[in-house]
Amino acid sequence: MGGMIPSMPQTPFWHLAPTDGRQKKPFQQEIFLLETYVAGLFFAENLQDVEVFLVPGFRLELLREPQNEYDEQAIQIFVSPKGRPKQRIGYVPRAKNEILSRLMDAGKFLYGIIQEKHPHTDGQFDLTIRIFMED
């Protein structure tokens, strides 16, 4: 049996495709960039409608908002539950968004994964997220 090439797994390529409709490229990797929190979560509208989805492991969509009047490098964070409209839950903190916004402006695809949910005694909560880049 020495010298034989092992067979490739029989996983169909469509199984590896991202859920947002983009095509996954061969040898594409996910690169961990940083861990942070969701800024402005307290001010998110109708947060109770999507709170059930805000659990560790849930994927979050990141979108640039260059026209933001307070921060030209603003990056919005959205939850996009399957079959429901996406909803903004907050922003990448200003102290962490400069390099990330430049990557996004250069065409790189970034996304977040919820790492932890930190409940408060008043019913509010904070979210720790990890941000990744597909390259």
Instruction: Give the confidence band of 28 by pLDDT, cuts at 50, 70, 90.
Output: confident
pTM for this prediction: 0.79
Per-domain boundaries in the chain: 28-134
pLDDT of residue 82: 87
User: What class has domain 28-134?
Assistant: alpha beta
Q: CA distances (Å), 102 to each of 28, 43, 62, 72, 74, in order?
A: 20, 26, 13, 11, 11
| Strand, coil or helix: 99 | helix
- pLDDT over 60 at 10, yes or no: no
